[in-house]
Copies of this chain bind each other. A is one copy, B any other.
Amino acid sequence: MRLVAVQEQDFDAGALLARLNSAGTGGMASFTGIVRQLPGGGLRALRLEHYPGMTEKALERLADEAEARWELTGCVIIHRVGRLEPGQNIVFAAASSAHRGDALAATAYLIDQLKTRAPFWKAEEMESGATHWVEAREADDEATAAWSETANATNLPRGQGRL
Judge if A28 is at the interface, Cβ distance under 8 Å: yes
On chain B, the residues within 8 Å of A104 by CB distance are 31, 104, 107-108, 111, 160
In-complex Cβ contact of A36 among B25, B36, B70 (8 A): B25
| A154 is an interface residue with CB less than 8 A from chain B | yes
B29/A100 in contact, CB under 8 A: no
Task: State in angstroms the CA–CA spacing of A32 and B14 once bound together.
Answer: 11
Could you give, for residues 31-67 of chain A, a 1 whenever the CB lies within 8 Å of some chain B CB and a 0 otherwise?
1111011000000000000000000000000000000
What is the total number of copies of this protein in its complex? 2
Q: Cβ of B21 and Cβ of A160 under 8 Å apart? A: no
Tally of contact residues, A, Cβ under 8 A: 43
Provide a sorted-by-A list of 17 A–B residue pairs whose CB atoms are within 8 angstroms. Answer: A17-B30, A21-B34, A21-B87, A24-B87, A25-B36, A27-B34, A28-B34, A29-B31, A36-B98, A99-B163, A100-B111, A101-B160, A101-B162, A101-B163, A105-B161, A155-B158, A155-B161
